[in-house]
Structure 1
Amino acid sequence: MKKRLLALASVALTSVVMLAACGKSGSSSSSSKQVLRVATNAEMATLSTTKYSDTTSLEALENSFEGLYRFNSKNKPVLAGASSVSVSKDQKTYTFNLRKNAKWSNGDSVTAEDYVYAWQKMVDPTAASPNSQRFQPIKNGTQIAEGKLPVKDLGIKSLGKYKLQVTLESPISYFSELMTGAPFYPQDKKIVEKYGNNYGTSSSKAVYNGPFVVKGWTGTNLKWTYVKNKNYWDKKDIKLQRVNVQVVKDSSTAGNLYQTNKLDYAMLTTDYIKQYERTSGYHSKTIPLIGYMSFNVHRKTTANVHFRKAIAMAFNKNSLVKNILHVGSPLNGIVPKDFTFNSKTSNDYRQDAGNMLTYNLKQARKEWAEAKKELGTSKMSIQLLTSDTTDSKQIGEYLQSQLETNLPGLTVTLHSIPLKSRLAATTDYNYDMVYGTWQPDYADPVNFISDGGQYHLDDDYNNSNFRDLLNKAATTYATDPVKRWSTLIQAEKQLLQKDAFTAPVYQGGMSYLLKNKVKGLQISPYGTVLFYRNVNIK
């Protein structure tokens, strides 16, 4: 399975970015106008918190579910599903009192057992969740996911109907941010077991404990709605009544819908950034989203380390950003810049770690020659899999052209399919190389190094030095930030410079159009996901 997402982290604690000033609506604000119309550029894949691995599904989950913490409008993680928490002296055990008035959308109480049930499913190796690696900081999370311990040994325990205890392997500074993520949401066991494998395959086959419920999603259609949850414990603070969502893969179409007042929000891609950058409501910013290529190491060609290194260094990243994307920056490591900072020196991680895999045509051709020698051939044909969104197809075409031009004897076939199909193909190892994007879940370099959207990282990348370094960062050096920092840099070097398990492509930017009447719309500090909780339409 893809060990991701999600999903799902821009500085040591990057602020939640406000798209428009947040404010309380006056008493004259009528519910009839509290309807937001937005476009997303990819279909939704699932409404199961244990199965998602795409951004559209993540956005749905983060607006319709709620965990122990959430981000508030003041840029901080705050208690959400829990009303209070106490922390042990060694900073490893957290005891939460859950909100007794928290309900599922069907009226069931949200209990401690709902968290225990969902978390144990996440790490159960038979469930093969794409987000199980997020539980590595939780006691026994790694060993359970590897099948070495039973799920009951996970560091989560119900101490009563509304009391929950979470135990960590070692203290972590980003615990509250980690808990805001969708993998740590509860599930209503009764409903999950009622629908079995069909749970989350449509909006009617799930229940929700967040500010909104999802309506009208059949599992394949390209329109759905978020409706204010009448059972949400904090519903009095939710002004927005409804969000109408439609999938619009073409930015030209989305821009036209925005300009003809049929959309309030639209994200722009590639060439359309230039077209709309002077339009009222245009915004642009750098985000910690990354674009990357992953390799199927179970196939002869892509299993060859020299082949992977040649691919990783054979395309001009500066040209891609300048001429195709028009936003963002080249990425020469798996961890982006301006995302997390050294607690002692305040240096950016990327600054300390340096460049790992740059565009280097001379070195790429040297590795290419070595690959051809080891594989015993002068010509190779591979397929590059992408989703069928505008950005993905254009980036795929650019990579295809660069690789065929710069590596003589290589033929690259581009295969662009709907995101849901692309995710399934990568999960099933039905690909040679795949291009994708990924957004982090918390502001720490380990989120990218041990996950980063890199497909099958936990299953297929078994380098003992890499695993040992990650283990030391999580345990031996957990409370020594200087040694932990340098250990993570060594792990990234092993992953990329020595083994080229993944080929970094670019760090993303986000350009979008937003009507001035929309106040309080937020973007996740870790990517492009929108939060609708604080929206008020003036």
Structure 2
Amino acid sequence: MKKRNLMAFVGILLAGGILAGCSNSKNSKSNSDPQAMKAAVSDQMATLNTAKYSDMISLEAMDNAFEGLYRFDSKGKPVLAGAQSVSHNEAKDVYTFKLRKDAKWSNGALVTAKDYVYAWQNLIAPATASPNSQRLDPIKNAQAIRKGEMQPDQLGVKALDDQTLQVELEAPISYLDELLTGAPFFPKNEKVVTKYGDKYGTTSDKTVYNGPFVVSGWKGTNDTWSYVKNNNYWDKKNVKLKRADIQVVKDTSTAGKLFQTNKLDYTILGNEFAKQYANNPGYHSKKIPLIGYLGFNTKRDITGNVHARKAIAQGFDKKLLVKNVLNAGTPLNGIVPADFAYNSETGKEYRKQAGDLLPYDKKVAQSEWEQAKKELGQNELTLEVLTSDTNEAKQVGNYLQSQLEQNLPGLKVNLRAIPLKSRLAATTAYDYDVVYGTWQPDYADPVNFISDGGQYHLNTDYQNQEFWNDLDQAAGEYASQPAKRWEALIDAEKHLIKDDTYTAPVYQGAMTYLLSSRVKGLNISPYGTVLLYRDVELK
């Protein structure tokens, strides 16, 4: 989102609607302003601070308004962006990046190597409490800094001069370019951050940008904002789009009507319409590595009980959820999705090799539930499931409530649906029993899901040392041994999901959306639903 990149149900189905009769010809003239593209998102933006985000709406804004050393091209491949060249030592654990001399911030200041050093050190500092700090773990000393064993200035990143950045890794990794496309690795202008302090990133005018667009009109809580072409962007000549106007549309039928009446160029389809409009002009669909999951507050009595967690995780029919509620996607029985990552040595697909860890099994769920009630000393238990307040998230919540109350005797499930920003704050503050959300990755490696995957408080609350040892081995001694590294990651996922059920996987998503024929060059992140406007042209 990346990015704990969470949002409640943004990946598979965000906003759709009653779209009968819409056509390419009608939508080819969709806006009164021919220079502006209009798009819908499912919820409010939470932040523009790259150290603080954990939702996909914020991530999308950052991916369009900031730029790191790499970015994704139109084919979904990482290419140099803020850097114009890169070299490495023979061991491939020290990389040297030469920055573009014409890269500037939107206030006219040059983007320097110190901006990267400052941003990364700020994000990894325990005092920042970034939900994405673990993303820096491949960088030298990052894990020790996160644990408070070393200082942030000991992170393996140096500014050799204004245009030269040196990055030292703990061990060689094959996905460094993909990793560095992510928002946690974007630079920050220290002067601007210092100027605004805690207010930095809370509104569009308390932020400075180095990407193809600047964010305009976002006041922190409003439902509309714009991405406006950044005239200080180094490659502005290749940015054709002058403005993208964004509006929050939570109701699926409303979003559909707006598209139908030419007031939107883009909207994701809601689950009610994914099948109904499959043959409609402007319809698009693609399978994505987005996951739906349940997170548990292990500090609460009931969800702190492993048997209760296992009962909940296996106590609802995932196939019926996908077929009757979502109308898209597939059941998922591990936290790493299918058709996402392949072993570079053996060619094996990860999910097939790791197998099913938590499939729906009513008998097993009821057995675990009886054990949980026995250990808790209660026959009647009440839990709350927290979701976002989008239509689809609430529908999933209703389905879970019905299934769990039916399959787990003595359980009463209450639902609480609140705006995404509030839901993120509630999970951060431990104000939940069970939270339902979705998450999408930043790079094509299983560790992105296993060590992150939208799992709140994983770094502080999950105490299985075998899990952490597996991750350490995968990042260290097995880093250049793909087969052994794969085995370590599979073992880590088994501890996390099957043995301890710290998180419960639910489904893997598919993205269905409507796009006006006048929009050309709109790219979507290869790992999810984030729109990239850099190459858009309006016809």
With normalisation by structure 2, the TM-score equals: 0.94
Aligned-residue offset at 1:261:
0.5
Partner-residue secondary structure (3-state), 1:284: strand
1:276 Cα offset (Å): 2.8
Query: Residue in 1 aligned with 2:263?
Result: 262
In the TM superposition, residue 251 of structure 1 has moved relative to its aligned partner by 1.5
Instruction: Give deviations 1:296-332, integer Å, cap 9, x for gaps.
Output: 1111111100000000000000000000001110010
| Pairing 1:296–2:297 present | yes
- Asked whether the equivalents of residues 6 and 58 of structure 1 are also in contact (C-alpha less than 8 Å), the reply is no
Work out whether residues 4 and 53 of structure 2, in 8 Å CA contact, stay in contact via their aligned partners in 1.
no
1:378 match: secondary structure? coil
Partner of 1:140: 141
Distance 1:220 1:256 in 2: 24
State the 1:3 CA deviation: 8.0
Give the aligned partner of residue 26 of structure 1. none
User: What does 1:449-468 correspond to in 2, within 5 Å?
Assistant: 449-468=450-469
How far apart are the structure 1 equivalents of 2:428 and 2:270? 26
Q: What does residue 29 of structure 2 align with? A: none
Q: What residue number does 2:230 align with?
A: 229
CA contact (8 A) 1:6 1:441 kept: no
The alpha carbon displacement at 1:517 in A equals 1.4
Between 435-444 and 274-283, report the one with greater CA deviation. Answer: 274-283
Secondary structure (helix, strand or coil) at the match of 1:324 reads helix
**Deviation >6 Å, runs of 4+:** none
Moved more, 172-181 or 271-280: 271-280
Contact 1:113 1:158 in 2 (8 A): yes
In 2, Cα distance between equivalents of 1:399 and 1:32: 44
| Distance (whole Å) between structure 1 residues aligned to residue 267 and residue 4 of structure 2 | 26
For residue 277 of structure 1, report the CA deviation from its aligned partner: 2.5
User: Counterpart in 2 of 1:4?
Assistant: 4
For residue 390 of structure 1, report the CA deviation from its aligned partner: 1.3
How much has 1:274 moved relative to structure 2? 3.1
Q: Which aligned pairs between 1:417-432 and structure 2 lie closer than 5 A?
A: 417-432=418-433
Residue 434 of structure 1 aligns to a residue whose secondary structure is strand
Per the alignment, in what secondary structure is the counterpart of residue 416 of structure 2?
A: strand
**Shift in Å, 1:285:** 1.2
Counterpart mapping for 1:43-442 below 5 A: 43-442=44-443
Say if 1:4 and 1:133, in contact at 8 Å, map to a contact too: no
Q: Is the 8 A contact 1:3 1:132 kept in 2?
A: no
Whether contact under 8 Å (2:52, 2:130) holds in the other structure is: yes
Relative to the length of structure 1, the TM-score reads 0.94
Residue aligning to 2:491? 490
Q: Distance in 2 between matches of 1:170 and 1:130?
A: 23
Deviation at residue 6 of structure 1 after TM alignment = 5.8
Deviation readout 1:379-399 (Å, 9 max, x if unpaired): 110110000011111111111
Aligned-CA RMSD value: 1.2
Corresponding position of 2:21: none
Alpha-carbon separation, structure 2, partners of 1:3 and 1:147: 22
Task: State the alpha-carbon separation in 1 of the partners of residues 217 and 180 from structure 2.
Answer: 29
Residue 74 of structure 2 aligns with an amino acid whose one-letter code is S
Aligned equivalents of 1:173 and 1:134: distance in 2? 15
How far, CA to CA, are the matches of 1:163 and 1:48 in structure 2?
24
Distance 1:320 1:133, change over 3 A: same
Quick one: distance in 2 between partners of 1:73 and 1:268? 23
For structure 1, the 5+ residue unaligned runs are 8-30
Identify the residue that residue 15 of structure 2 maps to in structure 1: none
Unaligned runs of 5+ in 2: 8-31
Q: CA–CA distance in 2 between the matches of 1:363 and 1:501?
A: 17
**3-state DSSP of counterpart to 2:198:** helix
Give me the whole-angstrom Cα distance separating, in 2, the residues matched to 1:150 and 1:223.
40
Aligned residue pairs, count? 514
Deviations 1:329-382 (A, max 9, x none): 001000000101122332211000000000000000010010001001101101
CA distance in 1, matches of 2:308, 2:457: 19
Write the deviation string for residues 21-70 of structure 1: whole angstroms up to 9, x where unpaired: xxxxxxxxxx9623111000111000000000000000000000000000
Which whole-Å CA distance do the structure 2 matches of 1:107 and 1:4 have between them?
Answer: 31
For 2:80 and 2:33, how far apart are their aligned partners in 1?
30
CA distance in 2 between counterparts of 1:6 and 1:506 reads 15
Partner in structure 2 of residue 469 of structure 1: 470
Paired AA for residue 261 in structure 2 = T
**Helix, strand or coil at the partner of 1:272:** coil
Q: Would you say 1:37 and 2:38 are equivalent positions?
A: yes
SS at match of 2:107: coil
Amino acid paired to 1:519: K
Deviation sequence 1:98-139 (CA, Å, 0-9, x none) = 111111001111011100111001110011001000011000
Q: Distance in 2 between matches of 1:395 and 1:269?
A: 12
Q: State how far apart, in whole Å, the 2-side matches of 1:210 and 1:438 are.
A: 24
**Offset from partner CA, 1:124-173 (integer Å, 9 cap, x none):** 00110010000110000011011110001001001001110000000000
- 1:480 deviates by 0.3
SS of the aligned residue for 1:193 comes to helix
Kept after mapping to 2: 8 A contact 1:62/1:182 = yes
Q: Residue 88 of structure 1: CA displacement?
A: 0.9
Give the match's secondary structure for 1:273: coil
SS at match of 1:33: coil
Q: Is the 8 A contact 2:3 2:55 kept in 1?
A: no
Task: Supply the AA of the counterpart residue of 2:197.
Answer: G
Contact map agreement 2:95 2:166 (CA 8 A) in 1: yes
Q: Give the conservation status (yes or no) of the 8 Å contact 2:76–2:525.
A: no
